[in-house]
Amino acid sequence: MSLRYRTEDNAGTALVQVQDDLRQLKRDLQKLNDTELGKTLNLEELETAIHNTEHEIKKRAEDELLVPPNTEDSSKTRGLLPKWEPQLKCFPDLRPQKICQARSLYAKSKLCSLSFPVGRIQTSEDAKAGGHQSGRHKEASLPFGEDLKSSKIGIKNFEFRCPRPLQCETEPIPSPSAAKTPPPSITSKSTAHTDRESVSKVLSEEPPENTSKLTFTIKLGHIKASENDFCVFMKSFSLCRSRVDHALKHLCQLLQAYAVPVAVVKGEQLVELAYSWDSEWRGTLPISSLLSALHNQDDVLKVLSRPGQRFKGEGGTEAAAVHIQSCWRRFTARSAYLRYCRRKWAVGSISLSWLMRAQMCRVRKALQARRFSQLENQRCRAQHLAANWNHIQASKRTIIHVPSLGYSENQRRSLRDFDVLQNIQLGRLCEIRDEIIDVIYVCPLRLNEDVTQYYSSLLKRNRPQEEGTAGAPENSLSKRRFIILTPEAVDYFPSHSMCLSSLLKYSPRTLTRIRHLIQGKRAYIVPGVAHVDDLAVADELGVPLMGPEPAVAQLYGTKSGARRIFREAGVEIPPGAEDVYSLDQLHECLAELMVQNLNVTRWLFKMDSEVEGTALCDVSHMKSFSWALSQYQRYGPDAWRSKGIQEPVVLRFLKEIPQWLSSHAHPTKTSQHSTWTGFLQTYLRQGGVVEAYPPSDSVYCVTVDLLLEPGGQISTLSCGDQLRSPCGLKVLGSCVPQRSLCPETVQSLCARVGQACLQKGIIGHMSVVLASFTLCASKQHKVWALDLHLSYSDHLAMTQILLHNSQGMLSCQNSIDVPMPNTEKSAQMHCAAKRYAVLSSKLFHANLSMLYRSVFFQMCKVRGIGFNPQKKQGTLFALFDSSERRRIGMIAVSESPEGALVTFAHNLSVIHQEISSSRTQGETNFKELIKDIEDFLQNKQRGVVSNNT
């Protein structure tokens, strides 16, 4: 410490002496300014005072700090000097705070070394001692030393002031008011540790004082040096001219570039701006900082903000040209870039589309090849089934029932409770009444224990005891003879409305289980409505399909296809036209049909798909129809067949038909199509037929279920009279067996239709709908073939439940023959009894969902609704689901047809009364069916039914 600092008092005394000399110099200058204004200033005294001050500071610094003068680089020496910290408030602590602020500290050192030139006046001794220093170290010398000698102007209004700490680049520029620093107090004379750099900074950072009124004017960016205001300003700040010139230069360039007429500069703020800005570190002064040094900065800012003002100043033409060229280059470059982007996007889109198309083509070809392979395998298995059918039919076999409704996706989504509709044929389980048949039933939904237990008890109720099964365990039948499986894909696709075949296709565990169950056994699949996924399931299991190919079923399973089959079979069909796909075709066909069949009073419009429903329109609402009848009576039946006579009537019908249909045609299923317009759109999109309704007051429709065996035989499985809604188009149930047609007529018609189907390659289950009626005018009896369904029907599934529980055999000759024990003889003897039944699988009541199954059966038992196994009569129920519970099936068995009808209607009435009230009737079709049964009984009493029935 003694080597570096000899005494603290010597350094403090030197600084105090410096301050006293400077203060005395200031007073002398003020006296000179006040008393001797206009006289010549003696610069020699000023030169001598400054020289003595500098020499004394150098000497004291060299003695006190032990540093040889001018022997090293000033930047290196500055870093090695010991530092002292005076207790004066005016001297800031210039020590670096953090390493990351090195750039700011360097800027501070630059500013301190350049701000106050008085402490660094170069003398001859310094010139000799420092001749070896580099040019960059000479920046600390007074830049205007020569100007001081030649200007003959002293330092005016000078006062020793502490420097302002320099802010970092990222900090905002301090306001001019913040740039002022109060002069040091008397307490600053106390001694403290310092070095040469600190002293030089303190002495070189002192700006002039009392410049609040130093203003001058800049016109069009140019300053007249002869103006008094500017001369006073430059004289006041001659010691810091380099900094002021830097700021003034940028301000003038700005005003020239924008052709600002007048700008009044505040000198003090300009100086503060010059001191607060380092040109080497921060470059050009910002416009906001330059404008802050102006009195009329608002007016100047308005001028600068004018559009195109930049091009009115100096170099405006060149700037405009540069701006135009840059804009044009930018436009061309951006246009080229956008073209490139569009082309790149187009290339990417085309490439992606091509890749996707190629991938789709590969997938499509693979699917086509796979489906073709599945179809070929099915044909091979079908040939093997046909060749060995007699042997298979007489041996033990397993039937896999898949009651799938393979409609289109739009049709499946439009159906309410689609999964329940697929499970209506749960009665297929009852085929196990044949002892050589085992059943695997694929269920489209999860069944609770109440439903499975009900069918287990139903299937075990009437097992024949004489065939050696009496000693079998109680649950052997349910475990070995039938099994209910639900595909796991039901849980994966709960809201996709997929058909059962598709769900089974995507259920590998269920397929594996079925494969294990049929391993080593003869088996085949009985599907529902044919779907392409039936082939995939059959190919996966390796078993044949007892049904038509999907393509064949889609072709002939429509209304139009059914008319073609009936026409080839040679059976009579209603007058009509098929394959209607346009509105003009519909109008033309309808007009010609109406002219040729004036006895038809109602026309039906049936879609090719059965699920979409039917619409009807009566000719009684047609204005020109009575005129057409008068024309027919005028010409007679024979002449009416002439085209020349019919043509005017056809033209008149064509004009009236569009308005007639839009006003009076209406769909029968309002739940799917509420208006004729919506029905017509779907009708023309899918295609359909125009067909005559039987021209009679009493029409009876018969459903006949057939089995087209692979060997070529045709078997009748069931037949019944349909119970239709009041409109006559909606089937609600049936009476088994049928009694409306002669059995021989039914057999003949069905045989011809079956043979026509076999010729088309159609095998498996199918049902035919026949209409029996008598013409009103000629009293001639007619039988029309109305419809054809190439699938296992709901009517046949309910008939299986009936036959299983009654242990009867259906005789299409008029009754169901059931075995009855003979009470007079031995109990082992049996006699045959006749039974009749009314069945329906389409019962719907919304209030049924409010009852549990056990409560429902208990209610029926209390009201006497049940089945008597000994008498083989009573009521049987069919359950379809465990969640909604709104749909049920019911079978009423009695000794007479009228008794079965009365029992069925009575059961519906009792159930409706039990589950409904005056306020909560609920949505139901019970009332429609009761009304239809009452009408049927009334017609029966009037003798409408033919005697041979």
pLDDT category, 934, cuts 50, 70, 90? confident
Q: What is the pLDDT of residue 745?
A: 92
How confident is the model over 775-795, as a mean pLDDT?
A: 90
Is residue 181 within 8 A of residue 164, CB to CB? The reply is yes
Confidence at residue 184, expressed as pLDDT on a 0 to 100 scale: 42
pLDDT of 61 reads: 53
- 728 contacts 752 by C-beta, under 8 angstroms: no
Residue 83, pLDDT > 50, answer no
Helix (H, G, I), strand (E, B) or coil at 151: helix
Pairwise pLDDT comparison (155 vs 476), residue with the higher score? 476
- What is the number of other CB atoms lying within 10 angstroms of the CB of residue 452? 15
Residue 199 pLDDT class (50, 70, 90 cuts):
very low
Average pLDDT across the chain, whole number: 78
Q: Please give the average per-residue pLDDT across 215-223, as a whole number.
A: 90
Mean pLDDT of the 725-752 span = 87
Q: What is the structure's pLDDT at 334?
A: 96
The pLDDT of 765-780, averaged and rounded, is 89
Which candidate, 44, 58, 46, places its Cα nearest to that of 21? Answer: 46
Nearest to 773 by CA among 698, 702, 723, 703: 698
pLDDT tens digits, one per residue of 580-638: 999 999 999 999 999 999 999 999 999 998 776 899 999 989 989 999 999 999 998 88
Which range is most confident: 203-212, 460-469, 693-702?
A: 693-702
Instruction: Report how far residue 272's alpha carbon sits from residue 284's, in angstroms, rounded to the nearest whole number.
Output: 16
Confidence band, pLDDT 50/70/90 cuts, at residue 120: very low
Has residue 99 got a pLDDT over 70?
Answer: no
pLDDT at 922 over 60: yes
> What are the φ and ψ backbone dihedral angles of 510, each rounded to 5 degrees?
-65, -40
CB 547 within 8 A of CB 765: yes
Look at 46-60, 90-104, 264-278, 801-815 and tell me which has the smallest mean pLDDT: 90-104
- The pTM (predicted TM-score) of the whole model is 0.67
Residue of 619, 614, 618 lying closest to 632 (CA atoms):
619
The yes-or-no verdict on residue 852 having pLDDT over 70 is: yes
What pLDDT shows up at residue 180?
37
What pLDDT does 576 receive?
Answer: 95
**Residue 730 CA: distances (Å) to CA of 280, 528, 877:** 98, 21, 22
Q: How far apart are CA 615 and CA 679, in angstroms?
A: 8
Q: Quick one: average pLDDT of 821-831? A: 52
Answer yes or no: is pLDDT of 133 > 60: no
Range scoring the smallest mean pLDDT among 278-282, 337-341, 400-404, 730-734: 278-282
Q: 787: closest CA among 566, 531, 530, 613?
A: 566
Nearest to residue 547, comparing CAs of 532, 558, 561, 562? 532
Give the per-residue pLDDT at 95.
Answer: 39
Q: Is the pLDDT of residue 146 over 90?
A: no
Out of 250-264, 460-474, 543-557, 572-586, least confident range: 460-474
- Average of per-residue pLDDT across 519-532: 94
Across 235-239, 380-384, 720-724, the highest mean pLDDT is recorded for 380-384
What is the model's pLDDT at position 464?
47
The pLDDT of residue 558 is 93
Q: pLDDT tens digits for 318-353?
A: 999 999 999 999 999 999 999 999 999 999 999 999
Higher pLDDT, 90 or 425: 425
The predicted pLDDT at position 472 comes to 38
The mean per-residue pLDDT over the stretch 768-795 comes to 91
Q: What is the pLDDT confidence band of residue 45, given thresholds at 50, 70 and 90? A: low
Helix, strand or coil, per DSSP, at residue 876: strand
CA neighbor of 78 nearest in space, from 54, 95, 93: 95
| Higher-scoring residue by pLDDT: 607, 214 | 607
Highest mean pLDDT among 16-25, 75-84, 109-118, 490-499: 490-499
Q: What is the pLDDT of residue 233?
A: 87
pLDDT at 174 over 50: no
For residue 839, the model assigns a pLDDT of: 94
Residues of the chain above pLDDT 70, percent: 72
CB 112 within 8 A of CB 204: yes
**What is the distance in angstroms between the CA of the first residue and the CA of the last residue of the chain?**
140
Q: In the prediction, which pLDDT does 564 show?
A: 95
Assess whether pLDDT exceeds 50 at residue 188. no
Q: Strand pairing of 437-442 and 482-485?
A: parallel
